[in-house]
A and B are shown apart, each in its own frame.
Chain A
Amino acid sequence: MKITNHGNLDHSCCNLVKLNNVHIMLDCAANVASLTPFLPFSALQTPRLENLPSHPDMPGVLKKTPGGMLLVDSSLHLVPPDQVDVSLIDAILITNNSQMSALPFIMTDPDFHGRVYATEPCVLMGRLALIALCKYIEQCPTRRSEVDMNSIPSHVHSIFKQKSHMRQVYNKDVIDSCFAKITPVRYNEQVDLFGLVDCVPLPAGHSIGSANWVIKAGDYKISYVSSSSKLTNHTLPMEVISLANPDVLLLSNLSLNPMYFPDNTLSEVCNVVTSTVKSGGNVLIPCHSTGVILDLIEWLIQNLNKNSLSDVPIIIVSPVADAALAHPDIYGEWLNDAKQAKLYIPELPFQHSQLIKSKRIHHFSNVADGMREVYKTPCIVFAGHPSLRCGDAVLLLEKWRDDTHNAVILIESEFSFATTLAPFLPMSMRSYFCPIDPSINYSQASKLIKDIRPKTVVTSPTYFRAPVTHPNRCDLVLVSDAPVVELGVGETVNLQQPKTSINVELSLEQLDQLNMQPLKTSDGYQLVSNVSGMLKARDNKPTLGAPNPSSLRSAMYGEVELQELIAVLTSKGLTPNKVETLGAGDHFLITLSDHSSTITLSPNVTSISAHTGKMRHTLQGIVSSLLVSL
């Protein structure tokens, strides 16, 4: 068993597992943080950003912010998984919608012939997230100049160290054709790969359709746990029992901001929103249109109602807002018990459809799409893209950045606070970092390891070091009582897979012919039978066909004791005439009374010479009775 980490960050996963000669890619994420060194743009002009001073190194390409950050004025690029031999991949298993962003790169490779498996909601939500990104890019009024990424010096941003792999973001047609080829699966559905490996997705509790995978080859079991959550949110809770006792626990995507507890940040968001709108300011929450936003809206509404702020409009701006808000309601079977119970009333599982109908929540595909009619200050706007490098969030931030009453709250944890906001600084608008990351943190992960008792844990070495920002927080370190094999970015680990055996079905003809006999062995008596036949395989399920009598051979086993042999011979009236010791003393020559028949004994060879066929047959019978024939 071999695992190679082709991801380029701890949270953009892409591991290639080779198990029983089947190559399985686990997740296929591109590094979205690679969007941050680019100059932000949006559908409408943002003069301040466009007029940032050029950097002398590459005028027209590199711009410098007042804070000193260098930004590349070019079309957006992503960093797909590194050094993958696409032709090897037999299957790709996806854990959740944030881990699919590199699929279009891999799936459009002419060498790719594998199949991709993701849960039904994950396929849809993942597609929406990528389509939102492409739409933002398409909205850009001035097509940006194509800059050769190789010309960007690596001091601009660390991602330019691997710039040769950087790929321009795909378009909607590519996304549609790729996502149509994904095989949707449900929780507890067995995915059979060539009869050699069996994969089952289990609820991970992170977002709708998020899954952990149990991968089995015979008795060998790998539990792949990634982006799992123990939070009480809208989805089915994480299932732990089926993950238990694996040979290998492959653990990834722990909380990116373990010093923040999502329950706390969630209420902090509510507090900031309440105080901001109370003071007459607008709130901008740059975020994805799926995932955490679903829980956040329900919390926020409750909180605003409590504070008598129910007239403040809540506006969701996203090119995929309608689909992103409509779909969670049809995935009732993937939601937590309370929401599932609503299916049987029947009621919609989420509140937001009702709130949209009652005009409490509004949604628009972009700011120019009628938002003017409901817009009033103060208001609360959720808008993309959370990287703040494209989309309506950029536009709104530019518009609101000069007013100290306004607030921007960053909630998506994969984007760092400082870098994401840097192009907009300095600004009067207040900014808050409230990452709502439902993923399990280090102590939850440590407990998980205790609970599921893996023989080996394979995970990132960074999880065993406290974050650079909090070097003394030993609670922010993963603890494992099981042996750990560290797997860093770009590394490969080889794990000893215990001798696996193959199940062979015995054909009926074979069963008929079996003659199980007790045999004395080093472990006591065991039932043993001779078997021969042709191995046939269908769907990798081997069967031992009918025995072929001509090929059924037997051999003798055991040792002939001299005294025992003499005793038997004597009892049959064949008392030896002479017994000579030969060689080193463990060879004997027995001559029988007819003077011409002899038996030569040695520890592993007995030789019979007889004058007549009858005599030989008798002696053969006597010697055979002291041996086992199989």
Chain B
Amino acid sequence: MTSDIKIVPLGAGQDVGRSCVLVSISGKNIMFDCGMHMGYQDERRFPDFSYISQPGGATDVIDCLIISHFHLDHCGSLPYFTEKFGYNGPLIMTAPTRAIAPILLEDYRKITVDRYGETDFFTTTQIKQCIKKVRTIRVHETIQVDKDISVKCYYAGHVLGAGMFLVKVGTQSVLYTGDYNMTPDRHLGCAWVDRCSPTVLISESTYATTIRDSKRCRERDFLKKVYNVVEAGGKVLIPVFALGRAQELCILIEEFWDRMNLKVPVYFCHGLTEKATNYYKLFITWTNEKIKSTFVNRNMFDFKHISVFDRSYMNNPGPMVVFATPGMLHSGMSLNIFKAWCHDAKNMVIMPGYCVAGTMGHKLLNGSRKIETDKGSITVNMAVEYLSFSAHADAKGILQLIKNCQPKNVVLVHGEERKMSFLIDKITDQFQIPCFKPANGEQINIPCQPQVSATMSKETFKSVRSAGNQFDGMLVQKNNQLLLLSREEAVQQLGLKPHTLNLNYKLCLTGLNLEGSVIMERLHTQLSSIITDQKLGTFKRQHDGTLHLNSVHITCRTEGGRSVVHVSWNVEDEPIGKAVSEILEECGEDLITN
């Protein structure tokens, strides 16, 4: 009756990047996310889909594919999987993800094809075709994918439209968090989940070992650093992704510039600014309460102090602040600006997000101060700062989420192995539940306790509840249904005839001439001292002199001038009846004489 939940990360197993987690639950196979890895340009950038099937066969294997949010490490291989690998089954994401993911995918495609000269990559048309297959889901909506699979979406914070997904098949369920944030930020609310008690919680663990100081402190820190550099005439480069963290930092800078009445130019390098703002306006219901309640009078995303960057501004003299994509300095405009500015110690680069191994951002953050370019190596003199602004839950947040949703098992993905081990200790310590950290391609089996339920009539339920909750009855399998019946119901519904089986024993007292009442009194004393098993109970003497215990009756009658002790009992009380009759049979009259 047991069936395991099997989990295999094809990506994001003890790693950050190319998130793709396969879950097999009650015979249904669900794929969560279909990402790419920013640290690789070879085939390792995509999950190893050959694990699932031959190309063209994935639709038969995968019953549902869910994309948690629009970041490329969660959706970057989606057009490849649907259009080139041939998956054609259900594909679920939120409306903002559906709107924004194709833009990032197109960006990614352009860089890969134009810059790296890749020829066998998915095309613009394929991105469009892929997105056409999407079925959108609203926050808290439950979608019935087929007759067995239901999917519910929860708000995850992190980026606009990020969702956490609860997939239920039968009595088992898996909650996949994608990336989430347990503290609200300038433009998004925090992740929320009810006590859904999933069989397995699959959580990201990017910041598994970090407990971050308060948001306010980090914001103040960030603004102080930016301010100090521009005051000293330096330039600040902030590599970001076009949508998400960028908007939050823009709001922050915008407010600060307003308050301090600063005139230093602030630029956003990507042509997406306006389009991005439009998306944020259309999906304002996905932002936080403050933005929702004020948008009629003032759209937070219409920035006064921030204008569009042009390549030619790069070598302008004087201070400036530039938001440039992509966020990990691995290619594109942010990398170009970095190369142009990095020699000058007056300048600063602020990395506001996580950087994947293999990217320039990652190298810098690990202390590397020499970079290789096509024109030889350059020494980095500019200040390099890291500020954790990327909206992932920290250790405290992850533990909070576990507390909220009360899972029976936890699986960590999307993090570094060493850090996961630390968090696993904390989780097992605090919640005493099994916790796993599978590597890519490693299958883990989570044994599931079978859940069997039976129906009980309202009447029986009520009478059991009013009689101290003790149920005594029968379980009947009828037409593939399990019924819990009280004894009365069973007799009625199954056409049973109760039958009483009585057993009798008698002992003739030949050598004794005693009054019946005396015999019974002595017998009572003897039995009470011999039968000491508490479970059997004790005999009570009635007014008429007889002894009773449950259905066991002992009487003394005179038959043919002799006293005869009668013991009779119902078969249900066989242990007592047997004990009494054995004592009488063994000891005979001696029992009473002594």
Interface residues of A (CB under 8 A from B): 120, 185-190, 200, 322-323, 326-327, 329-333, 340, 343-344, 346-349, 499-506, 508, 511, 514, 516, 519, 521-523, 526-536, 542, 544, 550-560, 603-610, 612-613, 616, 620, 623-624, 627-628, 630
Contact = CB atoms under 8 A, between A and B. Distances in A.
Contacts of B476: 526-528
Interface of B: 1, 95, 98-99, 102, 131, 136, 138-143, 275, 278-279, 281-285, 295-297, 449-458, 461, 464-465, 469-478, 482, 484, 487, 490-491, 494-506, 535, 568, 571-572, 574, 578, 581-582, 585
A48 B434 CA distance: 80
Given A521-B495, A521-B496, 15 more contacts: A187-B141, A188-B141, A326-B296, A333-B136, A499-B458, A502-B457, A505-B451, A531-B471, A542-B456, A551-B470, A552-B472, A559-B497, A607-B502, A624-B501, A624-B571
Given A330-B295, A613-B585, A616-B581, A505 B499 contact: no
Secondary structure dominating the interface of B = mixed
Given A499-B457, A526-B476, A606 B502 contact: yes
Given A329-B282, A532-B470, A559-B497, A613 B451 contact: no
B473 A531 contact: yes
Q: Closest 4 A-B residue pairs measured CB to CB?
A: A522-B495, A609-B504, A521-B494, A501-B455
B464 A333 contact: no
Contacts of A536: 469
Given A521-B494, A521-B495, A534-B470, A330 B284 contact: yes
A526 B478 contact: yes
A346 B454 CA distance: 51
Contact of A503 (B131, B453, B469): B453
A550 B535 contact: yes
B505 A610 contact: yes
B284 A556 contact: no
Contacts of A528: 474-477, 490, 494
B484 A544 contact: yes
B266 to A, nearest CB: 24
A497 to B, nearest CB: 10
Nearest to A501: B455
B499 A606 contact: yes
B505 A186 contact: no
A604 B501 CA distance: 8
Contacts of B571: 556, 620, 624
B209 to A, nearest CB: 34
A394 B332 CA distance: 62
A401 to B, nearest CB: 34
A532 B486 CA distance: 10
Given A332-B95, A528-B494, A604-B499, A516 B142 contact: no
Contacts of B285: 120, 330-331, 333
From B283, B461, B571, B574, name the one whose CB has the most chain A CB atoms within 10 angstroms.
Answer: B571
A486 to B, nearest CB: 28
B472 A188 contact: no
A537 to B, nearest CB: 8
Contacts of B296: 322-323, 326-327
Contacts of A532: 470-473
B501 A558 contact: no
13 contacts: A186-B140, A189-B141, A346-B275, A499-B458, A501-B456, A502-B455, A503-B455, A505-B451, A523-B494, A555-B487, A604-B498, A609-B505, A613-B505
A312 B495 CA distance: 84
B297 to A, nearest CB: 8
A608 B504 contact: yes
A535 B285 CA distance: 44
Contacts of A553: 472, 572
Contacts of B504: 607-610
Contacts of A554: 572
Given A186-B138, A505-B451, A526-B477, A534 B500 contact: no
B585 A559 contact: no
A122 to B, nearest CB: 13
Nearest to A630: B474
Contact of A605 (B102, B451, B500): B500
Given A330-B295, A511-B452, A531-B473, A555 B505 contact: no
Nearest to A192: B194
A504 B453 CA distance: 5
Contact of B472 (A333, A529, A551, A556): A551
B585 A612 contact: yes
Nearest to A552: B472
Contacts of A628: 496
Contacts of B99: 343-344, 346
Contacts of B484: 504, 531, 544
